[in-house]
Amino acid sequence: MNATSSLLGRLGLSLIFIISGWGKIAGYAATQQYMEAMGVPGGLLPLVIALELGGGLAILGGAFTRWIALAMAAFSLASAALFHGNLGDAAQAIHFWKNVAMAGGFLMLVANGAGALSLDAIWARRRAIPAAPLATA
């Protein structure tokens, strides 16, 4: 149950970023203009796409989970502050607190790892298997 819950939790956290990353590729120019209108250099968009799409896929697969989750938590909080800081606007307040909640989910991954159904777990099991002794003649 715990392994399945961890996998489903990673799925839920990752999908919004995977979808958003693809959306930013499809609407590159509009996204770049929006970023610049909010005071964020549009030249950072490739890094944002790489983090959202690459980080989302890494979280989904459970690869380098603790480090990626830490980056995604920081990104979620920065996005909340930069793009959704107008808490007087109900829609922006919802987006702000959504980002804070996602950061909390990512911090849970930092604390607990990806779980048994992950690439991290597969790699850890492989490291734990001792190498076969060399045959002597």
Instruction: Convert the pLDDT of each residue in 117-134 to its tens digit.
Output: 999 999 999 999 876 666
The residue among 16, 14, 48, 18 whose CA lies nearest residue 31 is: 48
What ranges do the domains of the chain cover? 2-119
Cut 0.85: pTM above it: yes
Model confidence at 135, pLDDT cuts 50, 70, 90, reads: low
Distance CA 133, CA 111 (A): 36
What are 64's two structure tokens? 């380098």
Instruction: Convert the pLDDT of each residue in 74-107 to its tens digit.
Output: 999 999 999 999 999 999 999 999 999 999 999 9
3-state secondary structure of 116: coil
Crossing angle between the packed helical segments 2-26 and 28-37, to the nearest 10 degrees: 90
Distance CA 117, CA 132 (A): 26
The mean of the pLDDT values for the chain is: 95
Q: Which ranges of 1-137 does DSSP label H, i.e. alpha helix?
A: 2-26, 28-37, 45-49, 56-61, 65-83, 90-112, 119-128
pLDDT for residue 66 is more than 80: yes
Distance CA 79, CA 35 (A): 11
For position 44, what pLDDT does the model report? 98
